[in-house]
Amino acid sequence: MKRFLLSVLFFVFLLFLWEMAFRAKIWSPVLLPSPEQVASYLKGATVDGTLLHATVITMRRLLIGYFVGLILGLPLGLLTARWNLFRDTLGTMALGLQTLPSVCWVPLALLWFGQTEAAMLFVVVMGTVWSVIIATETGVRNVPPIFRKAALTMGSKRLHIWLKVILPAALPFVVSGMKQGWAFAWRSLMAAEIFVTILTGFGLGQLLHYGRELSAMDQVIAIMLVIVVIGLLADKIFFSPIERFLHRRWGTSQA
Amino acid sequence: MARAARRSSATQELEVIAPSKLAIDNVSKSFQSASGTVLALDRVSLNVAEGEFVCLVGASGCGKSTLLSIIAGLEKPDSGTVLADGKPVTAPGRERLVMFQEPALFPWLDVFGNVLFGLKLKPNLSRKDRHDVAKYYLELVGLNHFEHANIHELSGGMKQRVSLARALAPNPRVLLMDEPFAALDALTREQFYGDIQRIWKERHKTIVFVTHNVREAACLGDRVLLFSPRPGRIQDEFKIELPRPRDINSVDLAAYSSRIKKSLKILRQSDTVARE
* DSSP calls for B152-183: GGS-HHHHHHHHHHHHHTT--SEEEEESTTTT
Residues of chain A that touch chain B, judged by Cβ-Cβ distance less than 8 Å: 144, 146-147, 149-156, 160, 164-165, 168-169, 171, 248-251
- CB spacing of A153 vs B93 below 8 angstroms: yes
Chain A partners within 8 Å of B151 (Cβ): 249, 251
Q: Is there a domain that residue B205 lies in?
A: yes
Min Cα separation A164/chain B (Å) = 9
Cross-chain CB nearest to A155 (options B106, B121, B153): B121
User: Cβ of A154 and B117 within 8 Å?
Assistant: yes
Residues 6 or more apart whose CB falls under 8 angstroms from that of B42 comprise B28, B231, B232, B233
Contact of B239 with B217, CB cutoff 8 Å: no
What is the span of the domain harbouring residue B48?
14-105+173-275
Interface test with B, best of A147, A148, A149, A153 (most B CBs within 10 A): A153
| B203: Cβ contacts below 8 Å, ≥ 6 apart | B16, B140, B168
Q: Which of A146, A164, A171 sits opposite B104 (nearest CB)?
A: A146
Of B74, B118, B152, which is closest to A149 when you measure between CB atoms?
Answer: B74
Neighboring chain B residues of A244 at a CB cutoff of 8 Å: none
Asked if residue B50 is part of any domain, the answer here is yes
Report CB contact under 8 Å: A169, B108: yes
Number of structural domains found in chain B? 1
- Which pLDDT belongs to residue B271? 65
A202: left (phi over 0), alpha (psi -120 to 50) or beta: beta
Spell out the domain ranges in chain A. Answer: 52-205
Per-residue pLDDT, A225 = 92
Q: What is the residue type of A116?
A: T
CB contact under 8 A, B92 and A249: no
The whole-model pTM stands at 0.81
In a domain, B39, yes or no: yes
Which residues, including other chains, have CB under 8 Å from residue B89's CB and lie 6 or more apart? B70, B71, B73, B82, B83, B96
CA distance A16 to chain B (A): 46
Q: Per residue in B77-107, pLDDT tens?
A: 999 999 998 889 989 988 899 999 888 999 9
Whether the pLDDT of residue B274 is over 60: the answer is no
Between chains, do A249 and B93 touch, taking CB under 8 Å as contact?
A: no
Q: Residue A179 has what DSSP assignment? A: H
Is pLDDT at B40 greater than 80 in this prediction? yes
Please state the ipTM of this predicted complex: 0.86
B137 assigned to some structural domain: no
Q: How far is B258 from chain A (nearest CA, A)?
A: 34
Give domain status of residue B36, yes or no: yes
Alpha-carbon distance values, B105 to A165, B151, B163 (Å): 11, 7, 7
- Contact assessment for residue A137 and residue A81, using Cβ atoms and an 8 Å cutoff: yes
Nearest chain A CA: its distance from B164 CA (Å): 12
Q: How many Cβ atoms from other residues are within 10 Å of residue A95's Cβ?
A: 15
What three-state secondary structure class fits B47? Answer: strand
Nearest to B74 among A152, A160, A171 (CB): A152
Contact B222, B229 (CB under 8 A): no
pLDDT band at B228; cut points 50, 70, 90? confident
- Name the residue among A147, A152, A155 with its Cβ closest to that of B106: A147
Q: How far apart are CA B132 and CA B13, in angstroms?
A: 10
Query: Under an 8 A CB cutoff, do B152 and A144 touch?
Result: no
Q: Under CATH, which number does the domain A52-205 receive?
A: 1.10.3720.10
In DSSP terms, B211 is beta-bridged to B57
Euclidean distance between CA atoms A82 and B12, whole angstroms: 40
Residue A149: C-alpha distances to residues A201, B28, B72 (Å): 53, 21, 10
pLDDT (tens place) for every residue of chain A, 255 residues total: 788 899 999 999 999 999 999 998 888 888 889 999 999 999 998 899 888 989 999 999 999 999 999 999 999 999 999 898 998 899 889 989 988 888 888 889 889 998 888 989 999 999 999 999 999 999 999 999 999 999 999 988 888 999 999 999 999 999 999 999 999 999 989 988 888 777 777 888 888 888 888 888 889 999 999 999 999 898 889 898 988 888 888 876 544
Q: Is residue B59 part of a domain?
A: yes
The CA distance from A161 to the nearest CA of chain B, in Å, is 11
Residues of A in contact with B110 (CB under 8 A): 249
Using the beta-carbon criterion (under 8 Å), do B104 and A144 form an inter-chain contact? yes
Chain B nearest-CA residue for A251? B152
CA dist B94 and B122 (Å) reads 9
